[in-house]
Protein backbone atom coordinates (compact mmCIF):
# COMPACT_ATOMS: atom_id res chain seq x y z
CA UNK A 1 0.00 0.00 0.00
CA UNK A 2 1.56 3.28 -1.08
CA UNK A 3 1.90 6.13 1.35
CA UNK A 4 0.58 9.64 0.86
CA UNK A 5 4.08 10.85 0.04
CA UNK A 6 4.57 8.14 -2.60
CA UNK A 7 1.18 8.90 -4.11
CA UNK A 8 2.00 12.62 -4.23
CA UNK A 9 5.35 11.94 -5.90
CA UNK A 10 3.68 9.66 -8.45
CA UNK A 11 1.06 12.29 -9.28
CA UNK A 12 3.78 14.95 -9.56
CA UNK A 13 5.80 12.71 -11.86
CA UNK A 14 2.78 12.05 -14.09
CA UNK A 15 1.98 15.77 -14.17
CA UNK A 16 5.54 16.66 -15.12
CA UNK A 17 5.63 14.03 -17.87
CA UNK A 18 2.32 15.16 -19.38
CA UNK A 19 2.73 18.87 -18.63
CA UNK A 20 2.74 20.01 -22.32
CA UNK A 21 -0.46 18.11 -23.09
CA UNK A 22 -2.12 19.29 -19.90
CA UNK A 23 -1.16 22.90 -20.63
CA UNK A 24 -2.52 22.78 -24.18
CA UNK A 25 -5.76 21.03 -23.20
CA UNK A 26 -6.33 23.45 -20.31
CA UNK A 27 -5.55 26.39 -22.59
CA UNK A 28 -7.99 25.27 -25.28
CA UNK A 29 -10.64 24.66 -22.62
CA UNK A 30 -10.09 28.15 -21.21
CA UNK A 31 -10.46 29.72 -24.67
CA UNK A 32 -13.72 27.85 -25.23
CA UNK A 33 -14.97 28.92 -21.82
CA UNK A 34 -13.92 32.48 -22.64
CA UNK A 35 -16.11 32.44 -25.73
CA UNK A 36 -19.08 31.09 -23.78
CA UNK A 37 -18.68 33.70 -21.02
CA UNK A 38 -18.28 36.46 -23.62
CA UNK A 39 -21.53 35.40 -25.26
CA UNK A 40 -23.30 35.51 -21.91
CA UNK A 41 -21.78 38.91 -21.10
CA UNK A 42 -22.91 40.29 -24.46
CA UNK A 43 -26.49 39.93 -23.26
CA UNK A 44 -25.80 42.59 -20.59
CA UNK A 45 -24.43 45.09 -23.10
CA UNK A 46 -27.85 46.26 -24.34
CA UNK A 47 -28.99 47.19 -20.83
CA UNK A 48 -25.70 48.95 -20.07
CA UNK A 49 -25.94 50.99 -23.28
CA UNK A 50 -29.64 51.79 -22.67
CA UNK A 51 -28.82 53.03 -19.16
CA UNK A 52 -25.97 55.08 -20.67
CA UNK A 53 -28.26 56.72 -23.22
CA UNK A 54 -30.95 57.43 -20.60
CA UNK A 55 -28.39 59.05 -18.32
CA UNK A 56 -27.05 61.24 -21.11
CA UNK A 57 -30.63 62.18 -22.05
CA UNK A 58 -31.37 63.21 -18.45
CA UNK A 59 -28.23 65.37 -18.38
CA UNK A 60 -29.23 67.03 -21.66
CA UNK A 61 -32.74 67.81 -20.40
CA UNK A 62 -31.40 69.20 -17.15
CA UNK A 63 -29.05 71.41 -19.13
CA UNK A 64 -31.90 72.62 -21.38
CA UNK A 65 -34.09 73.34 -18.36
CA UNK A 66 -31.13 75.19 -16.85
CA UNK A 67 -31.27 73.15 -13.64
CA UNK A 68 -27.54 72.58 -14.07
CA UNK A 69 -24.93 74.78 -15.66
CA UNK A 70 -22.56 73.95 -18.55
CA UNK A 71 -19.65 73.00 -16.31
CA UNK A 72 -21.74 70.64 -14.16
CA UNK A 73 -23.24 69.06 -17.29
CA UNK A 74 -19.77 68.34 -18.71
CA UNK A 75 -18.72 66.80 -15.41
CA UNK A 76 -21.83 64.60 -15.31
CA UNK A 77 -21.26 63.46 -18.89
CA UNK A 78 -17.69 62.44 -18.00
CA UNK A 79 -18.93 60.50 -14.99
CA UNK A 80 -21.54 58.79 -17.18
CA UNK A 81 -18.92 57.59 -19.64
CA UNK A 82 -16.68 56.46 -16.79
CA UNK A 83 -19.43 54.44 -15.15
CA UNK A 84 -20.40 52.87 -18.48
CA UNK A 85 -16.78 51.91 -19.19
CA UNK A 86 -16.49 50.35 -15.73
CA UNK A 87 -19.69 48.33 -16.23
CA UNK A 88 -18.46 47.11 -19.64
CA UNK A 89 -15.13 46.12 -18.09
CA UNK A 90 -16.85 44.19 -15.29
CA UNK A 91 -19.08 42.45 -17.81
CA UNK A 92 -16.21 41.23 -20.02
CA UNK A 93 -13.44 40.88 -17.41
CA UNK A 94 -14.08 37.14 -16.77
CA UNK A 95 -14.01 36.40 -20.52
CA UNK A 96 -10.81 38.37 -21.08
CA UNK A 97 -9.19 36.74 -18.04
CA UNK A 98 -10.04 33.26 -19.30
CA UNK A 99 -8.67 34.14 -22.75
CA UNK A 100 -5.40 35.39 -21.27
CA UNK A 101 -5.10 32.30 -19.05
CA UNK A 102 -5.83 30.05 -22.03
CA UNK A 103 -3.22 31.67 -24.27
CA UNK A 104 -0.67 31.62 -21.45
CA UNK A 105 -1.35 27.94 -20.76
CA UNK A 106 -0.96 26.99 -24.42
CA UNK A 107 2.26 29.00 -24.63
CA UNK A 108 3.55 27.29 -21.47
CA UNK A 109 2.78 23.82 -22.86
CA UNK A 110 4.43 24.67 -26.19
CA UNK A 111 7.49 26.06 -24.41
CA UNK A 112 7.97 22.84 -22.43
CA UNK A 113 7.52 20.66 -25.52
CA UNK A 114 9.92 22.85 -27.52
CA UNK A 115 12.56 22.60 -24.79
CA UNK A 116 12.16 18.83 -24.69
CA UNK A 117 12.46 18.65 -28.48
CA UNK A 118 15.72 20.61 -28.38
CA UNK A 119 17.06 18.31 -25.64
CA UNK A 120 16.03 15.26 -27.68
CA UNK A 121 17.79 16.61 -30.78
CA UNK A 122 20.95 17.23 -28.77
CA UNK A 123 20.84 13.74 -27.26
CA UNK A 124 20.18 12.24 -30.70
CA UNK A 125 23.12 14.14 -32.14
CA UNK A 126 25.35 12.87 -29.31
CA UNK A 127 24.11 9.31 -29.77
CA UNK A 128 24.65 9.53 -33.51
CA UNK A 129 28.20 10.76 -32.98
CA UNK A 130 28.88 7.84 -30.62
CA UNK A 131 27.36 5.37 -33.08
CA UNK A 132 29.38 6.83 -35.94
CA UNK A 133 32.57 6.63 -33.90
CA UNK A 134 31.87 3.07 -32.79
CA UNK A 135 31.06 2.02 -36.33
CA UNK A 136 34.23 3.64 -37.64
CA UNK A 137 36.34 1.92 -34.98
CA UNK A 138 34.74 -1.44 -35.71
CA UNK A 139 35.32 -1.07 -39.44
CA UNK A 140 38.96 -0.28 -38.78
CA UNK A 141 39.22 -3.37 -36.59
CA UNK A 142 37.72 -5.58 -39.32
CA UNK A 143 40.02 -4.12 -41.95
CA UNK A 144 43.07 -4.80 -39.79
CA UNK A 145 41.85 -8.34 -39.08
CA UNK A 146 41.32 -9.02 -42.79
CA UNK A 147 44.72 -7.54 -43.65
CA UNK A 148 46.57 -9.71 -41.14
CA UNK A 149 44.60 -12.97 -41.06
CA UNK A 150 42.57 -12.86 -44.28
CA UNK A 151 38.83 -12.55 -44.96
CA UNK A 152 38.16 -16.21 -44.04
CA UNK A 153 39.34 -15.75 -40.47
CA UNK A 154 37.49 -12.45 -40.23
CA UNK A 155 34.24 -14.09 -41.31
CA UNK A 156 34.75 -16.97 -38.87
CA UNK A 157 35.17 -14.52 -36.00
CA UNK A 158 32.45 -12.17 -37.19
CA UNK A 159 29.75 -14.79 -37.65
CA UNK A 160 30.99 -17.45 -35.24
CA UNK A 161 31.55 -19.94 -38.06
CA UNK A 162 32.90 -23.19 -36.67
CA UNK A 163 32.83 -26.95 -36.99
CA UNK A 164 30.33 -28.95 -34.95
CA UNK A 165 29.97 -32.68 -34.59
CA UNK A 166 26.43 -33.74 -35.44
CA UNK A 167 24.69 -37.11 -35.41
CA UNK A 168 22.73 -38.33 -38.41
CA UNK A 169 20.66 -41.46 -38.84
CA UNK A 170 21.40 -43.23 -42.15
CA UNK A 171 20.05 -46.40 -43.72
CA UNK A 172 22.46 -48.85 -45.36
CA UNK A 173 21.75 -51.03 -48.40
CA UNK A 174 20.30 -53.79 -46.22
CA UNK A 175 17.77 -51.40 -44.69
CA UNK A 176 19.51 -51.19 -41.33
CA UNK A 177 19.56 -47.82 -39.60
CA UNK A 178 22.58 -46.59 -37.78
CA UNK A 179 23.72 -43.33 -36.27
CA UNK A 180 26.84 -41.79 -37.72
CA UNK A 181 28.75 -38.76 -36.55
CA UNK A 182 30.09 -36.12 -38.88
CA UNK A 183 31.36 -32.57 -38.69
CA UNK A 184 29.50 -29.70 -40.30
CA UNK A 185 30.33 -26.06 -40.69
CA UNK A 186 27.71 -24.06 -38.81
CA UNK A 187 27.13 -20.43 -37.96
CA UNK A 188 26.69 -19.30 -34.37
CA UNK A 189 23.39 -17.89 -33.01
CA UNK A 190 24.23 -14.37 -34.12
CA UNK A 191 20.99 -12.71 -35.15
CA UNK A 192 22.48 -9.38 -36.12
CA UNK A 193 26.22 -9.69 -36.82
CA UNK A 194 28.63 -7.66 -34.80
CA UNK A 195 28.06 -3.95 -34.64
CA UNK A 196 25.79 -3.90 -37.70
CA UNK A 197 22.89 -2.52 -35.66
CA UNK A 198 21.21 -1.37 -38.86
CA UNK A 199 20.73 -4.95 -40.10
CA UNK A 200 17.11 -6.03 -40.58
CA UNK A 201 15.64 -9.32 -41.73
CA UNK A 202 13.82 -9.45 -45.05
CA UNK A 203 11.19 -12.14 -44.55
CA UNK A 204 7.43 -12.67 -44.50
CA UNK A 205 7.09 -10.96 -41.09
CA UNK A 206 9.15 -7.87 -41.87
CA UNK A 207 8.36 -6.83 -45.44
CA UNK A 208 5.32 -6.42 -47.67
CA UNK A 209 7.50 -7.20 -50.68
CA UNK A 210 8.77 -10.60 -49.48
CA UNK A 211 7.82 -13.64 -51.55
CA UNK A 212 8.20 -17.30 -50.70
CA UNK A 213 10.39 -17.66 -53.75
CA UNK A 214 14.12 -17.25 -53.55
CA UNK A 215 14.60 -16.16 -57.16
CA UNK A 216 11.95 -13.42 -56.95
CA UNK A 217 13.39 -12.09 -53.68
CA UNK A 218 16.94 -12.11 -55.07
CA UNK A 219 15.95 -10.24 -58.23
CA UNK A 220 13.85 -7.80 -56.19
CA UNK A 221 16.64 -6.97 -53.72
CA UNK A 222 19.20 -6.59 -56.50
CA UNK A 223 16.89 -4.15 -58.31
CA UNK A 224 16.26 -2.16 -55.12
CA UNK A 225 20.01 -2.05 -54.50
CA UNK A 226 20.46 -0.49 -57.97
CA UNK A 227 17.57 1.93 -57.35
CA UNK A 228 18.91 3.26 -54.02
CA UNK A 229 22.36 3.78 -55.54
CA UNK A 230 20.74 5.78 -58.35
CA UNK A 231 18.69 7.72 -55.77
CA UNK A 232 21.90 8.54 -53.89
CA UNK A 233 23.43 9.93 -57.08
CA UNK A 234 20.36 12.06 -57.84
CA UNK A 235 19.49 13.26 -54.33
CA UNK A 236 23.02 13.52 -52.99
CA UNK A 237 22.25 11.78 -49.70
CA UNK A 238 20.19 8.90 -48.26
CA UNK A 239 19.45 7.69 -44.74
CA UNK A 240 19.20 4.13 -43.52
CA UNK A 241 15.45 4.71 -43.05
CA UNK A 242 15.24 5.58 -46.75
CA UNK A 243 16.71 2.15 -47.51
CA UNK A 244 14.20 0.45 -45.22
CA UNK A 245 11.37 2.27 -47.00
CA UNK A 246 12.51 1.25 -50.48
CA UNK A 247 12.82 -2.39 -49.43
CA UNK A 248 9.35 -2.24 -47.91
CA UNK A 249 10.33 -3.13 -44.36
CA UNK A 250 7.62 -2.69 -41.73
CA UNK A 251 7.43 -2.51 -37.93
CA UNK A 252 5.23 -4.47 -35.53
CA UNK A 253 2.34 -2.09 -36.24
CA UNK A 254 2.52 -2.79 -39.98
CA UNK A 255 3.88 0.73 -40.56
CA UNK A 256 7.03 1.66 -42.53
CA UNK A 257 10.05 0.80 -40.40
CA UNK A 258 11.75 3.81 -38.80
CA UNK A 259 14.58 3.85 -36.26
CA UNK A 260 16.22 6.78 -34.47
CA UNK A 261 19.71 5.84 -35.64
CA UNK A 262 18.40 5.20 -39.15
CA UNK A 263 17.06 8.74 -39.32
CA UNK A 264 20.49 10.38 -39.08
CA UNK A 265 22.93 7.72 -40.30
CA UNK A 266 23.39 7.28 -44.03
CA UNK A 267 25.43 8.08 -47.13
CA UNK A 268 26.61 11.19 -48.97
CA UNK A 269 27.10 10.80 -52.71
CA UNK A 270 30.74 10.35 -53.72
CA UNK A 271 31.16 10.75 -57.53
CA UNK A 272 34.42 8.81 -57.38
CA UNK A 273 32.58 5.65 -56.27
CA UNK A 274 30.43 3.58 -58.62
CA UNK A 275 28.37 1.91 -55.87
CA UNK A 276 28.22 3.05 -52.26
CA UNK A 277 25.27 1.10 -50.88
CA UNK A 278 25.46 -2.68 -50.50
CA UNK A 279 22.77 -4.81 -48.84
CA UNK A 280 25.29 -7.45 -47.76
CA UNK A 281 23.65 -10.28 -49.70
CA UNK A 282 27.10 -11.89 -50.22
CA UNK A 283 27.88 -11.98 -46.49
CA UNK A 284 28.36 -15.47 -45.00
CA UNK A 285 25.18 -15.16 -42.95
CA UNK A 286 23.25 -14.92 -46.23
CA UNK A 287 24.94 -17.86 -47.98
CA UNK A 288 21.74 -19.96 -47.84
CA UNK A 289 19.82 -17.10 -49.42
CA UNK A 290 22.42 -16.48 -52.12
CA UNK A 291 22.68 -20.18 -52.91
CA UNK A 292 18.90 -20.57 -53.22
CA UNK A 293 18.33 -22.57 -50.02
CA UNK A 294 16.31 -19.90 -48.19
CA UNK A 295 14.00 -17.05 -49.26
CA UNK A 296 15.04 -14.97 -46.24
CA UNK A 297 17.86 -12.44 -46.32
CA UNK A 298 19.48 -10.30 -43.64
CA UNK A 299 19.80 -6.78 -45.06
CA UNK A 300 23.07 -5.29 -43.78
CA UNK A 301 23.38 -1.65 -44.91
CA UNK A 302 26.59 -0.11 -43.60
CA UNK A 303 26.13 3.70 -43.41
CA UNK A 304 29.09 5.99 -43.89
CA UNK A 305 28.23 8.23 -40.96
CA UNK A 306 25.95 10.95 -39.64
CA UNK A 307 24.73 12.65 -42.82
CA UNK A 308 23.85 15.86 -40.93
CA UNK A 309 27.53 16.26 -40.10
CA UNK A 310 28.67 15.14 -43.55
CA UNK A 311 26.38 17.61 -45.37
CA UNK A 312 27.79 21.00 -46.14
CA UNK A 313 26.31 24.03 -44.36
Whether residue 191 has pLDDT greater than 50: no
User: Is the same domain home to 214 and 281?
Assistant: yes
**Assigned domain for 155 exists:** no
**Assigned domain for 1 exists:** no
CA 220 to chain centre: 29
Residue 25 — left, alpha, or beta (φ > 0 → left; ψ -120 to 50 → alpha)? Answer: alpha
Residue at which a domain ends, from 113, 143, 173: 143
**Assigned domain for 304 exists:** yes
Query: Which pLDDT score is estimated for 185?
Result: 62
Crossing angle (nearest 10°) for helices 19-64 and 70-149: 170
Total domains in the fold of the chain: 2
Contacts of 250 (CB under 8 A, 6+ apart): 206, 207, 208, 256, 257
* Predicted model pTM: 0.48
Domain that holds residue 60: 15-143
- Asked if residue 73 lies in contact with residue 59, where contact means CB atoms within 8 angstroms, the answer is yes
**Assigned domain for 207 exists:** yes
**Assigned domain for 43 exists:** yes
User: Is the same domain home to 136 and 205?
Assistant: no
Neighbours of 25 (CB within 10 A): 14
User: Is the same domain home to 135 and 221?
Assistant: no
Whether residue 15 has pLDDT greater than 80: no
Contacts of 83 (CB under 8 A, 6+ apart): 55
- At residue 213's C-alpha, the angle toward residues 210 and 214, to 5°, is 95
**Assigned domain for 153 exists:** no
3-class DSSP state for residue 306? strand
What is the spatial distance between Cα 77 and Cα 126, in angstroms, rounded to a whole number? 70
Whether residue 5 has pLDDT greater than 60: yes
What is the spatial distance between Cα 313 and Cα 308, in angstroms, rounded to a whole number? 9
Q: What is the pLDDT of residues 81-101, one digit of tens each?
A: 888 888 877 777 788 887 888
Residue 89 — left, alpha, or beta (φ > 0 → left; ψ -120 to 50 → alpha)? Answer: alpha
Q: What is the pLDDT of residues 196-217, one digit of tens each?
A: 578 888 988 889 899 989 899 9
User: Is the same domain home to 138 and 202?
Assistant: no
Amino acid sequence: MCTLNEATMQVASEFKENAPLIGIIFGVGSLIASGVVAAMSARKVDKILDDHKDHLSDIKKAKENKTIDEKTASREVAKCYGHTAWKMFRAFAPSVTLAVVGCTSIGWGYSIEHSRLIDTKEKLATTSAVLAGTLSDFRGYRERTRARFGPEVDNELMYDIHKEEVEETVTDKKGNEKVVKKKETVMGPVGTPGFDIYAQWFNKDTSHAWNNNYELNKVYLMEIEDIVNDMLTVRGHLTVNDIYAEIGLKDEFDQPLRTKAGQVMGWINDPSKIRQIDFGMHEPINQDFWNGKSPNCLIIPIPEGNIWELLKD
